[in-house]
Structure 1
Amino acid sequence: MEARFRVLNRAAGIKTSSHAGRRSFSSRLLKSGVSLEQLAILLGHQDTEVTSAYIQVERKTLRSMYEHAL
């Protein structure tokens, strides 16, 4: 999959790493409601600790979660 992303990025003229794409992919899925466990499976990780390294949570999302919990 990584090789395919590399080819697609090059063809589109996008200068980025496959890890940047994985981070965006992970963050968007998590924001849409996919659980960390499901995300780990999609990324091929056996441990959610590895998956959490790919996640970028926006402050706005955290604030919304905090306010919802109150």
Structure 2
Amino acid sequence: MLTDQEKAILDLEERMPVHSSHKGDVIRAEVGLSVARYYQALHVLVDHEIEARREYPEVVTRLERARRRRVA
């Protein structure tokens, strides 16, 4: 089961998929993490959380695709 913070991270990523300085402000205000910690937590969710895929399939799929494009 996802924690409230994990849900907040995925909700925010669903609403604001593109990084901007405004998104950084929202990350700090809504999630309470630094931008670096937010992205670390987001990548852990994508890698290891079955619940994340179950509850946010579009977000997880988009992030996996973006990661594959960067690696390729």
Q: TM-score, normalised by structure 2?
A: 0.39
Q: TM-score, normalised by structure 1?
A: 0.39
Q: Which has the higher helix share?
A: 2
